[in-house]
Structure 1
Amino acid sequence: MSSSQASQTPDAQAPLLEIKNLQVGFRTTGGIVPAVRGASLTLRAGKTLAIVGESGSGKSTTAHAIINLLPGSGLITGGEILFEGRDLTTFTEREMEDIRGKLIGFVPQDPMSNLNPVWSIGFQVEEAIKANGIAKGRKEIKKHAITVLKEAGLADADKRLRQFPHQFSGGMRQRVLIGMGLSSRPKLLIADEPTSALDVTVQRTILDNLEKLTRETGTALLFITHDLGLAAERAEQLVVMYKGQIVESGPSREILANPIHPYTQRLVAAAPSLASRRIQSSVHKLTDLDYSATKVTEGLDLIETAESRAEAVAAAPAKAPAIVVDNLTKVYKIRGNKEPLTAVDDVSFAIERGTTTALVGESGSGKSTVAKMLLRLEDATAGKILIDGTDTAPLKGRELLALRRKMQPVFQDPYGSLDPLRNIGNTISEPLHTHRVGDAQSRRDRVHELLDQVSLPRTLSTRYPNELSGGQRQRVAIARALALKPDIVILDEAVSALDVLVQAQILQLLSDLQTELDLTYLFITHDLAVVRVIADNVCVMQRGKIVEKATTNEVFDNPRMDYTKELLNAIPGAGIALGV
């Protein structure tokens, strides 16, 4: 025992992963555009390191460079990536195949676009296990697939192997990818936003499992996140990236308690934390940020905005509800299962015009199914949906098109909801074309106006979805939803893929638009810190039912149900003091 430990001591002291002066660029017609500029970091075996930064700062590009999975136009232009002392930048493709999956696991950001829609979940997990040579024989492979999915938080994995990705919620699909990433018990697991699609309770379960794996097997974890509370709670080391460079690194608690770089200060100031109950965004645009600055202006206070709106709503005379959901039920028949699945069970709520209601709950609780029925993307098994007093069930043709003009969605998966063959400008203007609004010039002007509103440069209008980061794609989806200036917006995890700075800007934008245009929002989310800022009322869902329904302050300050208390207690970083 002691001799074995002694033989492992030198390896334990040497870094598992060491990146030195990494430079990554993307080939364009105008030359190579740098995406990562001289990044350096060190990760030891069994340790956890988090990379945080705004969308497009180079976080995911750095992670993809480690396992040589850069997009076609991407290339490493300089630096070293040392894994167990070997420089991965010199490896051939065949040599990298022996590293990927077996020694370095990877959990990608977009759960839907990384699962094949025509193959069952079981087949895809088993293929990954087979490819990495982890198990042999059909029975052993299937048994291992069930084990890794259960470890990732999918309790009924054995019953769900025959289902397809579209039959899983976003959180369930993310758990499948996490299970696949951990299936070979790798020495290093790279997780790109591993919990962005997960509710807080499942997020805690997943991260507890990852922490246990790190402790027991010595697996190191490199995870990319925009959630500073998560980074502070789960990672020993923190690396902050901005415009392709590492601007601050060190112990996570120290950085968050005393951020030195002005960009880090802004990230901390904008972090949605239940402990501080504040989300702040800067008065100045991010592009104006001066590296030499030493102090950050607090700027806009979304809590004050939300409270002033709540006071205005309370003082205003009661309005007719824009949305009424009455005894709504949705039952699915699952192939291979005799018993049907009741996804939504006798749900009732109403949303007054000009207010925001948040629908919260665990992944798979039925939140997104309610949204699909509101949008008439799914038909209800029983119950009624009234929009401005009109029953939507019998609407067809022109009447249904008119309904959809005043009720626009923002879906959970920012890549799956964007056409990969349309550029960003055409994507945002598509609703204007469909509903024959304006001429070509006015549509272009409207696209530019929307890009400004969601903090995207106008030059992106000629780019395509695969050229954008996950957060940028989500902002495009929000811009498209706002194109027609709808009366009702249904937001399904609309800010889950966004870094905290852009999240604060989007929430402020949604609040401003609601005040200006008297918009009605149904805000579906698992991020309870965001709920506190954006919502007037909250409905808590569990297993298809609404178990608690009240104003936001009542739910947060005096939750009645144990399930609601559990959701609140699971918010990452809620008890950590973040200071600027």
Structure 2
Amino acid sequence: MTQETTPVTDSAEPLVSIKDLEIGFQTGNGFVQAVKGVSFDIFPGETVAIVGESGSGKSTTATGIIDLLPSNGRITGGQVMFGGKDLTKASKQEIVRVRGREIGYVPQDPMSNLNPVWSVGFQVREAVLANNMAKNKKDADRRAIEVLQEAGLADAERRMKQFPHQFSGGMRQRVLIGIGLAADPKLLIADEPTSALDVTVQRVILDHLESLTREKNTALLLITHDLGLAAERASKVIVMYQGKIVEAGPSLELLQNPQHPYTKRLIAAAPSLASQRLKSSRVVAEAPQGDEIDLAAASAHRHEVVEQADHAGTPAIEVKDLTKVFSIRRGSFRSEPFTAVDKVNFQVPRGTTMALVGESGSGKSTVAKMVLGLETATEGEILIGGKDATALNREEMLAHRRRMQPVFQDPYGSLDPMRSIGSIIQEPLDVHKIGGRKERENRVNEVIDEVALPRTVLSRYPNELSGGQRQRIAIARALALKPDVVILDEAVSALDVLVQAQILQLLADLQEELGLTYLFITHDLAVVRVVADDVAVMERGKIVEHGKVEDIFTNAQTEYTQKLLDAIPGANIPLGA
């Protein structure tokens, strides 16, 4: 749903006026200026989005408004005018009175921002009491139930007694939104409120957030790295780069006629917008040059290469009637069977990419684990290069795994923080006893070159690298054994769009150069359109639709697939000629 391009207000006075704001951090290498002279206004009822990559200063700007900076951060200049008062000059007590009651805040990660040892009801009640919205515990309980109901949670009274781990990601995010809006604030700051959610859940959450803020005439400051999402949801978009605002204006105008090179880079790298350009056939099939990555052009080029290749012969992967049934504990020593994957069939020709898509719980990651041999199939066959992987003994399985390697969603969680990058990449060579010390060292140097990182990173550790660099290391580790097949499970979903575009381009280059076959697991159909040749859509353990990417995108046959397509952020924004 695209918002109007004018504030929902007749007021000529801004609700918040930020003037020449400067924020810095004290680090081991001295004082670092993170926000440099930022100025913008937010009017009552208006939705404003700040976009930019990690480190651009967007979240620091947002948290600086309500003094939620880390202990080593401080405002060094400028003003934050709110209600006739400069919040940069306000006392701690005055800021606490404003925070929550007049300015609400929704943080990015609901799991780390809800205490796992306290019930959800206790945490909502604490917020209600902190904002003086109840006189006693009974009133607080009543208001807490109302908050959860307003957040869209059914059976709110029962949910009060549950704990965060018993909620889905979307439900936890609804709780945080409910807490943020509990005191009917004049402004709500939402920092990447849906970045970790499936696109369909994301859409439900953002629709709900939009309706709540409209009903209460609450202004919304939305922080995001996704320009498509920002343009779809906000009336005004502010683009930040290296601590400064480089461009700002009405969302549709900025999207259709960007002026700054950085804004143009964000548009070119956003999968949802690249998908739009592919749909309208306004793409020249040329590989991008240098650091400038246009996902639509890169995708058109890759499809051209794949179409010219000969994929006859035995498929790299063939799955026949693959089924997985889990036994789920139901208490009192009882258990029930749960079919997570139900008679799934597909083929992946050599040198191509097949995407397996669906919402969380659809069974796509369970399929990937069975193909990798990390889960045992209940029924069915998994043929890798024509050989049944479900009938292998232990030695044969070790050889089988050498031909297939995984790349997971969280590059930090999948890399040992206690080992150097060089030893992390070399580990598969050690496990499979490939070559001697010198041969292994040479192979590590080869793959670090293949993923376009300097060899100097080999002596460093994961915490010293950026998210994009860590994902390149994860890819290098997967390539060390020269596999035929790489299984990528949500491998780019946690990355900023610019870093994501670089990784997707790297994967395409490696596939073209090395003849790799990819099974790409994702919930994001915008990414699917620019990286995959074929796509299988999973719902509740079954494949409900399967075909060429363009056929699925232009002529979806099921309501579920169409729902996934409609949920792509910015997918229906006209980009102009």
- TM-score, normalisation: structure 1: 0.80
Which has the higher mean CA deviation after the structures are superposed, 437-446 or 98-107? 437-446
- Distance (whole Å) between structure 2 residues aligned to residue 226 and residue 32 of structure 1: 26
Provide Cα deviations, 1:488-512, integer angstroms capped at 9, x if missing partner: 3333333333333333222111111
Aligned match for 2:297, one of 301, 320, 324? 301
Structure 2 CA distance for partners of 1:395 and 1:327, relative to 1, 3 Å: same
Do residues 569 (structure 1) and 570 (structure 2) align? no
Kept after mapping to 2: 8 A contact 1:489/1:520: yes
Q: Percent identity?
A: 55
1:426 paired residue number: 420
Do residues 276 (structure 1) and 272 (structure 2) align? no
- Distance (whole Å) between structure 1 residues aligned to residue 337 and residue 185 of structure 2: 36
Aligned match for 2:344, one of 348, 371, 386? 348
SS at match of 2:45: coil
1:315-330 paired onto structure 2 within 5 Å: 315-322=310-317, 324=319, 326-330=321-325
2:234 paired residue number: 235
Kept after mapping to 2: 8 A contact 1:474/1:494: no
Q: Which has the larger radius of gyration?
A: 2
SS at match of 1:301: helix
Q: Give the AA of the match of 1:220.
A: A
Structure 2 CA distance for partners of 1:154 and 1:92, relative to 1, 3 Å: same
Do residues 528 (structure 1) and 530 (structure 2) align? no
Do residues 489 (structure 1) and 486 (structure 2) align? yes
- Distance (whole Å) between structure 2 residues aligned to residue 360 and residue 488 of structure 1: 18
- Distance (whole Å) between structure 1 residues aligned to residue 413 and residue 135 of structure 2: 34
Which has the higher mean CA deviation after the structures are superposed, 475-484 or 128-137? 128-137
1:76 paired residue number: 75
Structure 2 CA distance for partners of 1:265 and 1:444, relative to 1, 3 Å: same
1:350-365 paired onto structure 2 within 5 Å: 350-352=346-348, 353-365=350-362
Structure 2: tracts of 5 or more residues without a match:
1-8
1:109 paired residue number: 108
- Distance (whole Å) between structure 2 residues aligned to residue 458 and residue 174 of structure 1: 40
How far did residue 248 of structure 1 move?
A: 0.7
Kept after mapping to 1: 8 A contact 2:239/2:247: yes
SS at match of 1:496: coil
Q: Give the AA of the match of 1:329.
A: K
Structure 1: tracts of 5 or more residues without a match:
1-8, 287-296
How far did residue 344 of structure 1 move?
A: 1.8
- Distance (whole Å) between structure 1 residues aligned to residue 113 and residue 351 of structure 2: 37
Provide Cα deviations, 1:360-379, integer angstroms capped at 9, x if missing partner: 22344333444455556666
- Distance (whole Å) between structure 2 residues aligned to residue 372 and residue 160 of structure 1: 32
How far did residue 241 of structure 1 move?
A: 0.9
- Distance (whole Å) between structure 1 residues aligned to residue 155 and residue 106 of structure 2: 21
How far did residue 240 of structure 1 move?
A: 0.7
SS at match of 2:276: coil
Provide Cα deviations, 1:468-524, integer angstroms capped at 9, x if missing partner: 8xxx42552353243230443333333333333333222111111122233332322
SS at match of 2:204: helix
SS at match of 1:285: coil
Kept after mapping to 2: 8 A contact 1:283/1:300: no
Structure 2 CA distance for partners of 1:68 and 1:428, relative to 1, 3 Å: farther
- Distance (whole Å) between structure 1 residues aligned to residue 363 and residue 144 of structure 2: 26
How far did residue 412 of structure 1 move?
A: 3.9
Structure 2 CA distance for partners of 1:523 and 1:212, relative to 1, 3 Å: same
Kept after mapping to 1: 8 A contact 2:287/2:297: yes
Aligned match for 1:545, one of 522, 534, 542? 542
- Distance (whole Å) between structure 2 residues aligned to residue 136 and residue 478 of structure 1: 54
Provide Cα deviations, 1:375-399, integer angstroms capped at 9, x if missing partner: 566666x335636234459876x77
SS at match of 1:484: helix
Kept after mapping to 2: 8 A contact 1:427/1:480: no
- Distance (whole Å) between structure 2 residues aligned to residue 385 and residue 298 of structure 1: 39
SS at match of 1:483: helix
Kept after mapping to 1: 8 A contact 2:445/2:455: no
Structure 2 CA distance for partners of 1:441 and 1:31, relative to 1, 3 Å: farther
How far did residue 223 of structure 1 move?
A: 1.0
- Distance (whole Å) between structure 1 residues aligned to residue 45 and residue 108 of structure 2: 23
SS at match of 1:302: helix
SS at match of 1:567: helix
Q: Give the AA of the match of 2:322.
A: N
How far did residue 181 of structure 1 move?
A: 3.3
RMSD: 4.1
Do residues 480 (structure 1) and 477 (structure 2) align? no
1:293 paired residue number: none
- Distance (whole Å) between structure 2 residues aligned to residue 153 and residue 541 of structure 1: 26
